Amino acid sequence: MEKWARSNLWERGHEVYSPQFLRQRRHARKTDWVSAPLFPRYLFVAVDPDNPSRRSINSAAGVINLVTFGDRPATMADTIIQEIRAREDEAGHVQLVDRKSLIPGEQVRLHSGALSNHMGFFERQGDADRVVILLKLLGREVRVGVPSNSIARVL
């Protein structure tokens, strides 16, 4: 859905940003990593707030509606978009957690894999691109090694 809307907005001359991240997908006993939208069903579109050209945006195929506050388009500071872009790796995927910035005991959430949506606590760096977290499963704490890109810091 996002790709279709992004393509149609781009064809109309709008600057569009749809941040992506890697998530783990399980299908037919096979696990792989796929690109997924960081904000499902939302895109960032550069719009002049004084001349929002809403009709051009809202009428693009794949677009449901421009997010507004009252009669004005919702805005976001350029610094926030720059922060998201700064976290992209060379393939254009946003890195949700900088492994080096995690502190032992910090709360994290798994966002992919068999334990998706479980909360845990960062314990330490693992091998290569993995981290060790503590999860509470079946009434006890269990150490689990997971890919570092499968967790997100809980704010």
How high is the pLDDT of residue 52? 61
User: Whole-angstrom Cα distance, residue 131 to residue 149?
Assistant: 9
How high is the pLDDT of residue 105? 92
Per the rule left: phi > 0, alpha: psi between -120 and 50, beta: everything else, 30 is: beta
How high is the pLDDT of residue 111? 82
Q: How many CB atoms lie within 10 A of CB 142?
A: 12
Radius of gyration in angstroms for the set of CA atoms belonging to the chain, rounded to a whole number: 19
How high is the pLDDT of residue 143? 93
User: Whole-angstrom Cα distance, residue 132 to residue 41?
Assistant: 32
What backbone torsions phi and psi does residue 128 show, to the nearest 5 degrees?
50, -120
How high is the pLDDT of residue 26? 75
Q: Which amino acid is at 6?
A: R
Per DSSP, what are the bridge partners of residue 153?
Answer: 108
Contact residues for 14 (Cβ-Cβ < 8 A; gap 6+): 45, 46, 47, 56, 57
Average pLDDT, consecutive stretches of 10 residues, N- to C-terminus, the chain (155 residues): 89 92 80 86 84 81 89 86 89 79 89 84 86 90 88 81
How high is the pLDDT of residue 68? 85
Domains of the chain and any CATH numbers: 2-86 (3.30.70.940), 99-153 (2.30.30.30)
| Angstrom distances, CA of residue 151 to CA of 20, 29, 31, 78, 106 | 15, 22, 17, 26, 12
User: Whole-angstrom Cα distance, residue 104 to residue 119?
Assistant: 14
Query: 38: which 2 tokens?
Result: 């960081």
